[in-house]
A and B are shown apart, each in its own frame.
Chain A
Amino acid sequence: MKPSLIFPALTALLSLAAAMGAETAIEGRVELPKGRPGPVVAKRYEIVSKGGVISTDPPLAVVYLEGPFRKPSPPATRQLTQKNLTFIPALLPVQVGTKVEFPNEDDTYHNIFSFSPAKRFDLGRYRPEERPIPSQIFDKAGPVTLRCDIHEHMRALILVLDTPHFVMTGTDGRFRLAGVPDGRYRLKAWTSSKTTLEKQVEIKSGAASRVDFP
């Protein structure tokens, strides 16, 4: 190698190393909506030994990046559990194409269903130990509200996103979305079925951008 080329090559390598060390990320905070009262279990005609007091799930938001991303390999399977007459977690963001399993960890039946346009299904009633665990593949973007046909108070939401770049906020509304590619995108913050906030962002290699909602 000619001596005149050594210096530029070393400089490029050092720049790349620096860029890898300072991860490209977006961080910020979403102003979360006020918490809602926990549900009241209707147990007029049967004895319900669990679910007497259900802790109020603190409101959370899902922050995601919209853009022309390449389709990655099939996303990993996720689980949404039914335990103590509650869906855990109550909010689950997944990428389009994700398979979600619904294990029943109660000693009673559940009957999960959804009439949402993004995914309409009814799993029927199945035993806790049933194998394979009943599942669905969520192949269309949009919110999918889950309910139980037996326990009226049970609710959950699967947010199906057409992007591999998403993250849930903490209960304080803070988030950090790491590993995002360079470019200009729309950053969205879903806070409820009625509210999705949106901002334009420009991602630069090795830099951490700060975005707050609103």
Chain B
Amino acid sequence: MNVLRSAAACLLLGTAAPLAAEGLIDRLDEALTVSAFDGHARARLSGTLDLEGYYFPRTPPGLIHADDDGALLNPRLTLFLDAQLGPHVYAFAQARADRGFDPGDGDREIRLDEYAIRLTPWEDGRFNLQIGQFATVGGGWITRHLSWDNPFVSAPLPYEHVTAVRSRVPPYSARYFAPGTLWGKYDYLPVIWGPSYATGVSVAGRLGRFDYAAEVKNASLSSVPESWSITETGFEHPTVTGRIGFRPDPAWNLGLTASRGPYLMPEAAAALPAGRGLEDYQQITLGHDISFAWHHWQLWAEVFVSRFEVPQVGNADTLAGYFEAKYKFTPQLFGALRWNQQFFSKVPDGWGGEHAWGDSLWRLDAALGYRFTPHTQLKLQYSPERATGGGPGTSHNFAVQFTVRF
């Protein structure tokens, strides 16, 4: 079974390779940092090598695609370039080679997921201007979405659970807008598609205890990865997203997010009601995030209310959120629990009545992680999930991820 092979491989790598590779990775880190002009121009190439294994006895959750036996082995190489030119210019890029942006979505891909340049006129960080293709400023999960920082293998529910909303093919009538994913799940949208690496411009800064950030992007928070590149989607139908943050002290971080923008892709235009355009169907999202950290505890919580204006149907609302806790038992061993939940509003069913446009569900993520060295980490995850509106009962999903960071 693939997942067993990958788990065994992860364990073998986790126990044997780190000891031998530790010194090598430290030397590699030094070798991949270059500087010029007396240190005022510096660049560093770094990355992660992830080996993930999944096992899903039933349908894979979220945006993950598995093989027929419910197993998936997903290697991923991520390279980061960070460059600092004096105190005022910073640039970064992220490239990946894997089996698709979402695990198992493709065969083999090499992508440039992020690239941006940031201008910082004042060194106190009060104002920053960033241009490029980069993660959204909204929400509180983005800063820890990479495999090394995320205590879990998967993303929280709002960032990966697909709803009945489709961006390419709007429903012909309300009767066709129902829970479930009849077609490939990649056609359907979550509230936020992972880190949402769309293209655009952002301003951000820190003013005392307050943070602010706002962006204008070429695609909505829920948009599919194919639409994020400027070569695929222009700025005819931009999405505006903003976040205000408050840090009463280093332990707390509270934020409010708001976003609005059309979510339908251009190929959906032909199927819209007469006289209507893509601009008439918006995704409107409000979110609240909060985090707290103290000694070996870290807590996070987020909740989003998102409205999709659906052709032929009306407003389809959903509320999705999670509460997450991480604790370090020892310098190397940590555990994490995350409770995820999502609810759906009622919409006309096309037969004169109403029905919920999605199956409300909960999911518990439980993970154990071990850092063998400052460069190597192994995570094991178990996730029971159940749709509360009926369905086939609780599904039990397993994941393992071994990461080498350099």
Residues on A close to B: CB < 8 A?
36-50, 52-53, 55-56, 107-109, 113-115, 120-122, 124-128, 145, 147, 152, 193
Contacts and interface: CB of A to CB of B under 8 A. Distances in A.
A127 B252 CA distance: 11
Which DSSP category, helix, strand, loop or mixed, fits chain A's interface?
A: loop
B373 A115 contact: yes
B70 interface: no
Interface of B: 26, 30, 33-35, 39-40, 42-44, 46, 80, 82-84, 86-88, 90, 92, 94, 114, 116, 120, 123-125, 128, 134-135, 142-143, 145, 204-206, 211, 249-251, 293-298, 328, 330-332, 371, 373-374
A114 B371 CA distance: 11
Contact of A127 (B124, B142, B249, B332): B249
A37 B35 contact: yes
B122 to A, nearest CB: 9
B143 A46 contact: yes
Contact of A47 (B46, B125, B251, B371): B125
B82 A41 contact: yes
10 tightest A-B CB contacts, nearest first: A49-B125, A37-B35, A124-B295, A122-B331, A40-B44, A52-B87, A124-B296, A45-B143, A125-B293, A109-B250
B326 to A, nearest CB: 11
30 contacts: A36-B33, A37-B35, A39-B44, A40-B44, A40-B83, A42-B46, A42-B80, A42-B92, A44-B92, A44-B116, A44-B135, A47-B205, A52-B88, A52-B123, A53-B39, A53-B84, A108-B250, A109-B250, A115-B331, A115-B371, A120-B331, A120-B332, A124-B294, A124-B295, A124-B328, A125-B295, A125-B296, A127-B250, A127-B251, A147-B374
Contacts of B84: 40-41, 52-53
A107 B250 CA distance: 7
A128 B39 contact: no
Contacts of B34: 37
B315 to A, nearest CB: 32
Contacts of A49: 123-125, 206
Contacts of B298: 125
- From A46, A114, A193, name the one whose CB has the most chain B CB atoms within 10 angstroms: A46
